[in-house]
Chains A and B, each alone.
Chain A
Amino acid sequence: DAGVIQSPRHEVTEMGQEVTLRCKPISGHNSLFWYRQTMMRGLELLIYFNNNVPIDDSGMPEDRFSAKMPNASFSTLKIQPSEPRDSAVYFCASSPAGGGEQFFGPGTRLTVL
């Protein structure tokens, strides 16, 4: 199994630009999670999906952030417009039904100048 796949691995953009992060969960997993990690705030859950449906988006910072899961094998996290304070490592994770443990992707390191 290839594990959770995220792209791009690194993204450098300028303030005001749109950023799209992509995630392919492990096949057969029915839950998908987006996290953000910074030195100051640690690991934060942004949003999670069960069976492609958003269940809890209370961690999404503001309206500039949006996430979609059009099918069981793909999800996107979009930031529009991006700001320097959005600079962080963004992780996607997936988990199977009943298992509890989450499997993390390698992350996308986002730098907004």
Chain B
Amino acid sequence: AQSVAQPEDQVNVAEGNPLTVKCTYSVSGNPYLFWYVQYPNRGLQFLLKYITGDNLVKGSYGFEAEFNKSQTSFHLKKPSALVSDSALYFCAVRPPLGGNNRLAFGKGNQVVVIP
């Protein structure tokens, strides 16, 4: 079964500094990987995904993520964090098409950007 680990509970970063949110995964076959963001009292919002191709994926709001097959990781990054980036971030994985359609979500990381 597929699974995701987000090892940190909370990530604190100063505004303007680089932001990294870590994610490692476990899945049979080539993974489909996703990042979502949840702002307070809102639903999850899709940020970006990796299906195939270039290991560096660019998404919404200046976020990007790098797929690393050897380390089974898909860390989310932003070069310069904004206070408005403070939110809960979820990594998710699913097996390739033809497998189970469900996403396995991590527990989420609270990101706090300090002004």
Contact = CB atoms under 8 A, between A and B. Distances in A.
Interface of A: 4, 31, 33, 42-43, 45, 48, 50, 55-56, 91, 93, 95, 98, 100-107
B45 interface: yes
Interface in B65-115: 90, 94, 97, 100-103, 105, 107-108
Select the residue from A4, A43, A95 with max chain B CB neighbours within 10 A: A43
B82 to A, nearest CB: 22
Contacts of B45: 104
Interface residues of B, number: 20
A103 B46 contact: yes
11 contacts: A31-B101, A48-B102, A55-B101, A56-B100, A100-B49, A100-B103, A101-B49, A102-B44, A104-B43, A107-B42, A107-B43
Interface SS of chain A: strand
Contact of B102 (A4, A42, A56, A104): A56
A31 B32 CA distance: 17
Interface in B25-65: 32, 34, 36, 42-46, 49, 51
Contacts of B49: 100-101
B29 to A, nearest CB: 13
B51 A100 contact: yes
Contacts of B46: 101-103
Q: Closest 3 interchain pairs by CB?
A: A104-B43, A104-B44, A100-B32
A43 B105 contact: yes
A42 B108 contact: yes
A98 B101 contact: no
A43 B90 contact: yes
Contacts of A48: 101-102
B43 A98 contact: no
A91 B32 contact: no
A93 B45 CA distance: 11
Contacts of B105: 42-43, 45
A45 to B, nearest CB: 6
A43 B102 CA distance: 13
